[in-house]
A and B are shown apart, each in its own frame.
Chain A
Amino acid sequence: MEIGTLRLKVGLAEMLKGGVIMDVTTAEQAKIAEDAGAVAVMALERVPADIRAQGGVARMASVRRIKEIMAAVTIPVMAKCRIGHFAEAQILEALGVDYIDESEVLTPADEQHHVDKFAFKVPFVCGARDLGEALRRIGEGAAMIRTKGEAGSGNIVEAVRHMRKVTGHIKRLTTLGPEELMHEAKELGAPYELVRWAAQHGRVPVPNFAAGGIATPADASLMMQLGAEAVFVGSGIFKSSDPERRAKAIVQATTHYKDPDVLARVSEELGEGEAMRGIDTSKLAEEELLQTRGW
């Protein structure tokens, strides 16, 4: 009998496909998310929009908060640790969290190194802006990749850019000859074996989800149609005017992402409910971006 294998880590991500993972900060929100059909919740101290507004150092959520959320729901509970903060990750593993997000949304703890994710039995998800970053994280043991997007912005443009970059680059890899792949690995700054695998199979070696800026059912459908296999919704739900209804609508939109009639209906059911306000990410200064964190 084996535990903590890559197959088991990737396997849980497979089970989350076609689903919506929702950011929650309290047990009550976790319950609302579960009742709305979330496949998992992400336990946080503050949602990204508040981290952005309030500033300060953003750390792993408090242990008490995470335990309350774990006790409130039967679906998997994820939690974030700071980039490179393997001690936070060790605590999350000890708590029995089901997935760890080594996340740029929190303030990085290490300016060069990410966590050695092979050292853990609990699987990790990491954000990526392009294929090189995705393959570096997988090389370190990540069992799921998500776009970084721009968390807390309510603006889908960054997640779209990141997803298109990854899928576009993979398409290009499949057209290259074997002799071209080493140069490609060098340019990408990614492990050669993983570059070769992606070129042969025409996809990222682990499940590839979307995150960062999803605020509407249409946003979820857009990311799924661009190749995401599931979506994370951070501030988009609990920063909207009617979280429960919006959560349900995004769940339906993620399943029926290819069906415009269903998308129109679930969007209509939102009525006058407003999506989170959102920000124009092109107006953000470089140092205000969360996506540039990670190496």
Chain B
Amino acid sequence: MRIGVLALQGDFALHAEALRRVGVEAVEVRKPAELEAVDGLIIPGGESTTLLKLMEAWGFVPALEKFHAQGRPIFGTCAGLIVLAREVLNPPQFSLGLIDVTVERNAYGRQRESFETEGEAALGREPVPIKMVFIRAPRIRRVGPAVTPLAGHRGECVMAREGSVLAAAFHPELTDDPAVHRYFAGMVEAAHPC
């Protein structure tokens, strides 16, 4: 099993490290053809406007739609969540629409309002404690009926899953807590038993 990390811009190296810590081979993906060799994909944190421009320039939009249609799992954090969402506010911008949530960019504030906290995530039979790091984070304003919230902060959903798509407003890759990456590796394993 190999999981790709979209390496156009952002903290892709930290995601690759986090995957290796849970025993998964991680591959950097900079061109759509490189998606062929991976069973799942992480879209990292970064600047969503930059990511989108680079994705559009290289034909990643149709490639990821195909990737998703084939049932291969995708996990997005922060900018990755924005790119995957059905609808984006502040300002409205193009997104892939692969998970039925509405997100508002930078809605927790600027960098001085960035924060870290602890919470619980429904990643197994029992909720597990997780560390959550929010950096100029997007806020999930609406969760569609087919979407399962997996973690919350002050009563609001901050991590969610719809089928083969997982998305978080925070950055598990900035902590040494492997729980979320282990969960995503499990999703990829289940989608592609080998």
Contact surface of A with B, Cβ cutoff 8 Å: 1-5, 7-8, 11-12, 14-19, 34, 36-40, 74-76, 93, 96-99, 121-123, 251-252, 255-256, 259
Contact, CB under 8 Å: A8 / B47: no
Residues on B with beta carbons closer than 8 Å to the beta carbon of A4: 112
Contact, CB under 8 Å: B171 / A11: yes
Contact, CB under 8 Å: A74 / B106: yes
Any chain A CB within 8 A of the CB of B156?
A: no
Contact surface of B with A, Cβ cutoff 8 Å: 7-14, 30, 45-47, 49-50, 53-54, 57, 78-79, 90-91, 105-106, 109-117, 133, 135-136, 171, 174-175
Counting chain A CB atoms within 10 Å of each CB, the highest count among B13, B47, B133 belongs to B47
Contact, CB under 8 Å: B54 / A251: yes
Residues on B with beta carbons closer than 8 Å to the beta carbon of A18: 7-10, 12, 46
Contact, CB under 8 Å: B115 / A3: yes
Q: Which of B12, B90, B133 contacts A8 (CB 8 A)?
A: B133
Residues on A with beta carbons closer than 8 Å to the beta carbon of B106: 74
Complex Cα distance A19/B110, Å?
19
Residues on A with beta carbons closer than 8 Å to the beta carbon of B171: 11
Contact, CB under 8 Å: A39 / B111: no
Contact, CB under 8 Å: A8 / B9: no
Complex Cα distance A14/B54, Å?
18
Residues on B with beta carbons closer than 8 Å to the beta carbon of A97: 110
Contact, CB under 8 Å: B49 / A8: no
Residues on B with beta carbons closer than 8 Å to the beta carbon of A121: 112
Q: Which of A15, A75, A93, A256 contacts B30 (CB 8 A)?
A: A256
Q: From A96, which residue of chain B is reached at the shortest CB distance?
A: B110
Contact, CB under 8 Å: B54 / A5: no
Complex Cα distance A259/B11, Å?
20
Complex Cα distance A7/B117, Å?
12
Contact, CB under 8 Å: A7 / B113: no
Complex Cα distance A53/B23, Å?
55
Contact, CB under 8 Å: A93 / B9: no
CB distance from B9 to the nearest CB of A (A): 4
In the complex with contacts A11-B133, A12-B136, A76-B136, A2-B115 CB distance below 8 A? yes
Residues on A with beta carbons closer than 8 Å to the beta carbon of B13: 17
Complex Cα distance A76/B136, Å?
9
In the complex with contacts A37-B54, A39-B9, A8-B117 CB distance below 8 A? no
9 residue pairs of the A-B complex, CB under 8 angstroms, read A3-B115, A8-B116, A12-B114, A16-B46, A74-B90, A96-B111, A122-B112, A251-B50, A259-B30
Complex Cα distance A128/B176, Å?
29
Complex Cα distance A3/B112, Å?
7
Complex Cα distance A255/B11, Å?
12
Q: Which of A7, A15, A259 contacts B45 (CB 8 A)?
A: A15
Contact, CB under 8 Å: B117 / A17: no
Counting chain B CB atoms within 10 Å of each CB, the highest count among A17, A75, A98 belongs to A17
Contact, CB under 8 Å: B133 / A255: no
In the complex with contacts A15-B47, A17-B11, A18-B10, A8-B135 CB distance below 8 A? yes
Contact, CB under 8 Å: B174 / A3: no
Q: Which of B78, B113, B175 contacts A15 (CB 8 A)?
A: B78
Residues on B with beta carbons closer than 8 Å to the beta carbon of A1: 115-117
Q: From A94, which residue of chain B is reached at the shortest CB distance?
A: B112
Contact, CB under 8 Å: B47 / A16: yes
Contact, CB under 8 Å: A12 / B135: yes
Complex Cα distance A96/B106, Å?
13
Q: Which of A16, A17, A75, A252 contacts B49 (CB 8 A)?
A: A75
Residues on A with beta carbons closer than 8 Å to the beta carbon of B46: 15-19, 39
Contact, CB under 8 Å: A11 / B53: no
Complex Cα distance A234/B110, Å?
23
Complex Cα distance A47/B46, Å?
26
Contact, CB under 8 Å: B174 / A19: no
Complex Cα distance A256/B9, Å?
10
Contact, CB under 8 Å: A74 / B49: yes
In the complex with contacts A11-B135, A74-B90, A3-B114 CB distance below 8 A? yes
CB distance from B118 to the nearest CB of A (A): 9
Complex Cα distance A37/B133, Å?
25
